[in-house]
Structure 1
C-alpha cells in the first residue's frame, strides 16, 4: 500500500513541459533570469519554452515538480547530454520557499531518477549571477569544471558529478 506524504511534506510528481504544474517553474525562472541578466521577461519565457518537450521525456529525460500540500514549490529537469551523462536543467525553487532544503531535495530526487535511467554522470551549467545555485551544487558534491563542455548553449559556470553505475543499455 502506498501512503500519501504527511501535510507539509514535499512530494515529487513527473510532469510534461506543458503541464499546468510546470507553469510556475517556467514563469518564475523567466522573471528571475530577466532580472539577474537583464532582458525581457517575455523573450526569456519564450526561450525557456523553446526546448523540445520530448528532450525531458522518459526514458532519456524527466521533469519533476515538488509539491508541498499540492502547491508547486520546486522543480527541475534533466535530459540526455551523451550516452553516459544526463544534464540538469531548470532547477528552480519558488522564491517564497527558499532556504528550506527544497532545492537540495529536488536535486537528490533528480539524481535518483538519473541513476535509475542508467546514467553514470551528471553535467550542468549555471550563470555567473547565481551564487546560490553554485553553492547548492558544491554542497551536493558537484565538481566545478574549468570551462563548460562543448554544447549548444554555454554558461560560464559548469559542474559535473559521478553517480551510480552505467546500466547495460547505456
Structure 2
C-alpha cells in the first residue's frame, strides 16, 4: 500500500526542481508571458519558518504535490505554489495540501489566509470556492475579463481560520 506524507523543504532545494519546472511549464502553456510584467522576485527567506513554510507531499518517497505560505501581514499568511503533478490530478491532492497549509498556518499564529490564482485556472477557483475561500472578485464575470486593465490577471481570495463561527458573529 502506498504511503503519503508531508515534509518541510527549503524552497531552493534541488529536489524541488522537477516539480517546480512542471508548475512553470504549465503556467507558460496557460499564460505565455502574460504575467512577466507583474512578476515579483521570490526570495527563499519568505518561505522559511517561523513566518513561512514550504512543504511537499510525497508518495512512497516521490514528490507528488507541493504548497507554501509566506507572511502577508502579521495575522495573514499568503498561500503560494499549491500544485499537483499533472499526471496525478483529480485525486484530491491539492485539497490535501491546502488543508495541511491551513493547519500549519494556524499553528504558526495566522488567523487569515490570502491567495491568488490566475484567470485561466478554473479548477483552482472551484477548489477554493468549495472550501470556504471568499472571492475578492465577481465570480459571475468572465474570468478572462480580469486579464484586461485595470486588472492584473490574478483572482484573489481570503479565508478566516481558527476562529469559531460564534466568535466571527460577535
Task: Give the alignment's TM-score, normalised by structure 2.
Answer: 0.81
1:58 maps to which residue? 49
**Cα distance per residue 1:16-68 (max 9 Å; x no partner):** 0111332123101110110000139xx97xx68x4110000000000000001
Q: Does 1:24 align with 2:18?
A: yes
Change (3 A) 1:155 1:114: farther
Q: Does 1:124 align with 2:118?
A: no
C-alpha distance in structure 1 between counterparts of 2:86 and 2:100, whole Å: 20
User: For the aligned residues, what is the CA RMSD?
Assistant: 2.3
Pick the aligned partner of 1:112 from 79, 103, 122. Answer: 103
C-alpha distance in structure 2 between counterparts of 1:131 and 1:146, whole Å: 14
2:157 maps to which residue? 159
Change (3 A) 1:81 1:155: farther
Moved over 4 A (4+): none
Q: What are structure 1's unaligned runs of at least 5 residues? A: 1-6, 148-153, 166-170
CA drift of 1:92 comes to 0.5
- SS state of the match for residue 160, structure 1? strand
1:13 maps to which residue? 7
- SS state of the match for residue 34, structure 1? helix
Q: What are structure 2's unaligned runs of at least 5 residues? A: 139-151, 164-170
Change (3 A) 1:155 1:81: farther
* Pairing 1:31-70 to 2, within 5 Å after superposition: 31-39=25-33, 50-70=41-61
Would the aligned equivalents of 1:125 and 1:155 in 2 still touch at CA under 8 Å? no
Task: Give the alignment's TM-score, normalised by structure 1.
Answer: 0.81
